[in-house]
Chain A
Amino acid sequence: MKTVNELNEIARKVRVDALRGIHAANSGHPGGSFSVTDILVALYFNVMNIDPENPKMDERDKLILSKGHACPALYGTLAERGYFDPEELLTFRKLGSRLQGHPNMELCPGVEMSTGSLGQGFSVAVGMAIANKIDKKPGYVYAITGDGELQEGIIWEAAMSAAKWKLDNFIAVVDSNNLQIDGWVSDVMPVMPIDKKFEAFGWKAINADGHDMQSLLDAFEEAKNTKGQPIVIIAATHKGHGVSFMEDVAGWHGKAPNDEQFVQALKELGCTDEEIEKYTGGDR
């Protein structure tokens, strides 16, 4: 178990790893990666029953990143957790890399499901939770979606299914940054109120601050104590969190920083001059 301060420091490193990968690739999705980072770090370091030495452990908890485009944050988290060397992030999106532009379960250790086409990972995760019920396995299944992703119809088909099966081993997290490619979610196609919608579908809904580790840990604790129904944690987040010029700007959904922006972002993420020198020297 890590302290809140330790988790925050890990999340900072994950953001740096993710940004280095995106900068080296000169493509990728920083906005959604930075909004989901704290959620991933809380899960992989304090909440989930996993073993990087034994990624296929039978009774493990599973996480499906349904918003697969945010994989730089997932790769950074897996790397910091020990699944592979963080330097491998520099191969992100390059020909022959295990770290594909969207997560590939057959290539990358720790990735439970190949995702990228929105909505489907959530439904796959429901299937995994059903299988755990049928097979009487103890593992929890976690699925992270974006709030824009809730516009996909399959989400609500799967939401009905999870309630029918009373999947109290299924914990969904909505990374609710209120931004999607074309603008504010509330303008493009409103999905609020998310909690009321899921409650109407038979779920337990918990609201949390997605950038406050204690709030996230408390929400996961409450989720695990819920019996007889699936749980959704609506984590209020900001796209691009941690880098001032990316924060709450839709334009940072899917583009890489230029060299100048990269240095500025590394500074804001607390990198030392030595680190910045190292990261800007070898990457390009």
Chain B
Amino acid sequence: MADAKKIATREAYGQFLVEYGAEREDLIVMNADLSGSNKTDGFEKAYPERFIEVGIAEQDMLAEAAGIAHSGHVVAASSFAMFAVGRGYEMIRNTIAHTNANVKVCATHGGLTVGEDGATHQPFEDIALMRGIPGMTVINPADAVSSKALLRQIFEMDGPAYARFGRSGVPAIYDESEADLIELGKGFTLRGGNDATIIATGIMVSKALEAADILKQEKINCRVIDIHTIKPIDSDLIKKAAYETDYIVTAEEHSVIGGLGSAVAEICAKRMPYDCIAMIGIQDTFGESGKPDELLEKYEMTTQDIVNAVKRLRSIDAPSAKR
């Protein structure tokens, strides 16, 4: 771990916007009356002509963002995670993601460490909502260096993304020299070990490293993985860890329902220790027009699909069959 100076990831977001704004004239930053808190005020000062203040109106900000993006811009739409995702969910789903608009929803104040403002301002469901949307990229960086590295990658990519940042200062996880190694969609193995794996995201990554230090003194060698990209998730790395270390602990500043824990469980449950679960349902895509029965058939949700799934699983050699 790099030195102990603590920086909030929202600070890194603000700095990134100013730096990136110099490189890209098509960058528009939008804000809903929180520029001091979500750190878009630096961009506002540097590029006032490309800063749009919508007032306390997150729904309008997100739909307008889609309109501006479809007019040839890349847009950073900024608010607190509670309001950007909570109030704005349907705009993000139908108007940004379904149209593949080049909007990055950048939300600060994610999770419990919002602190004193309490429950109404502490979102625990935002990652679950965002990762359920087809085509949405979701990042939750652990520190300033990884925040900037991942922000650059989502802004260079065409299409929607959700970026979650924290309010409170967090220890640095990565050195500047490691920034180039941080790759969107790839987990980062911070520690080796085969006794168990701790898979963490966001502010919980530093705590995972501390926990690994403590366990090492008890001769338990933990692997520690930073899953900074919740979607697309690095399923190969997670699967490998599950095979090699037997036990997995996940750590996230988010509800265990629908967040990192669920994402890891989906990978493990479907594939570990052998293919024992198949999931019938909408496989991470949008719908379309058609008759209900035609659609159920196209989306592989018929009775026969269930039958086939059972047969497919039964054709796999389960450990019990070998006994």
Contacts and interface: CB of A to CB of B under 8 A. Distances in A.
A281 interface: no
Q: Is the interface of A mostly helix, strand, loop or mixed?
A: helix
B71 interface: yes
Residue in B28, B63, B291, B298 whose Cβ sees the most chain A Cβ within 10 Å: B63
A154 B65 CA distance: 13
B63 A123 contact: yes
B23 interface: no
Contact of A101 (B49, B59, B95, B289): B289
Nearest to A153: B59
A181 B243 CA distance: 55
Contacts of B66: 113, 124, 127
A135 B71 contact: yes
Interface stretch (B50-58, B118-126, B231-239, B268-276): B50-58
Interface in A231-273: none
Given A105-B99, A124-B95, A154 B289 contact: no
B59 A157 contact: yes
A235 B230 CA distance: 48
Interface string B41-81: 00000000110101101011001111111111100000000
A245 to B, nearest CB: 26
B100 interface: yes
Given A127-B65, A127-B68, A100 B59 contact: no
Contact of B71 (A95, A116, A132): A132
Contacts of A160: 55, 57
What range describes how many residues of A lie at the interface? 35 or more
Given A94-B290, A106-B100, A161 B64 contact: yes
B225 interface: no
Contacts, number: 109
B285 interface: no
A178 interface: no
A136 B174 CA distance: 43
A158 B63 contact: yes
Nearest to B93: A117
B99 A97 contact: no
A130 interface: yes
A161 B68 contact: no
B98 interface: yes
Interface string A108-122: 000011101101110
A189 interface: no
B289 A157 contact: no
A116 B57 CA distance: 21
Nearest to B95: A120
Contacts of B100: 106
A93 interface: yes
B68 A95 contact: no
A172 B91 CA distance: 20
B49 A134 contact: yes
B67 A131 contact: yes
A135 B99 CA distance: 22
A154 B63 contact: yes
Nearest to A154: B59
B141 to A, nearest CB: 28
Contacts of B291: 95
Contact of B288 (A95, A121, A130): A95
Contact of B67 (A101, A106, A125, A154): A125
Contact of B64 (A112, A127, A132): A127
A93 B91 CA distance: 23
A113 B54 contact: no
A23 to B, nearest CB: 15
B67 A126 contact: yes
Nearest to B298: A95
Contacts of B94: 114, 116-117, 120
B49 A123 contact: no
Nearest to A125: B67
A71 to B, nearest CB: 11
Interface in A85-111: 93-97, 100-101, 105-106
A154 B60 contact: yes
A131 B73 contact: yes
B90 interface: yes
A127 B289 contact: no
Nearest to B58: A157
Contact of A127 (B49, B67, B294, B298): B67
Contacts of B298: 95
A128 interface: yes
A157 B288 contact: no
B47 to A, nearest CB: 11
Interface in A151-169: 153-154, 157-158, 160-161
17 contacts: A93-B289, A105-B99, A113-B70, A114-B99, A120-B63, A123-B67, A123-B91, A126-B60, A126-B67, A127-B63, A127-B64, A127-B69, A134-B28, A134-B50, A135-B72, A157-B54, A158-B60
Interface of B: 28, 49-50, 52, 54-55, 57, 59-60, 63-73, 90-91, 94-95, 98-100, 288-291, 294-295, 298
Closest 10 CB pairs of A and B: A127-B67, A127-B64, A131-B71, A123-B63, A157-B60, A95-B290, A157-B57, A124-B67, A128-B67, A101-B289
Given A94-B290, A95-B291, A127-B68, 5 more contacts: A97-B289, A124-B67, A125-B67, A128-B68, A153-B59
